[in-house]
Amino acid sequence: MARIVIDANIAMALAVRLPYSEQAVVKMIAWQQQNAALYAPILWTYEIVSALRKVVAAQVITTDGAIERLQQLLTLQVEIIAPSKEQHRLALVWAERLGQSVAYDGQYLALAELLSATFWTADKRLAAGARQAGVEWVYCLND
Could you read off the pLDDT of 10-66 as tens digits, one per residue?
999 999 999 999 999 999 999 999 999 999 999 999 999 999 999 999 999 999 999
pLDDT of amino acid 93: 97
Domain 3-140: give its CATH architecture: 3-Layer(aba) Sandwich (3.40)
Phi, psi of 87 (to 5 degrees): -65, -45
3-state secondary structure of 4: strand
1 — pLDDT class (breaks 50, 70, 90): confident
pLDDT of amino acid 122: 96
User: Would the pLDDT of 143 be above 80?
Assistant: no
Mean pLDDT of 91-105: 95
Mean pLDDT of 108-135: 96
pLDDT of amino acid 136: 95
**How many CA atoms within 13 Å lie on the side-chain side of 7?**
22
Burial of 39 (0-12, 13-18, 19+ CB in 10 A): buried
98 — pLDDT class (breaks 50, 70, 90): very high
pLDDT of amino acid 142: 83
Mean pLDDT of 104-118: 97
Cα 9 to Cα 87: distance, rounded to the nearest angstrom: 21
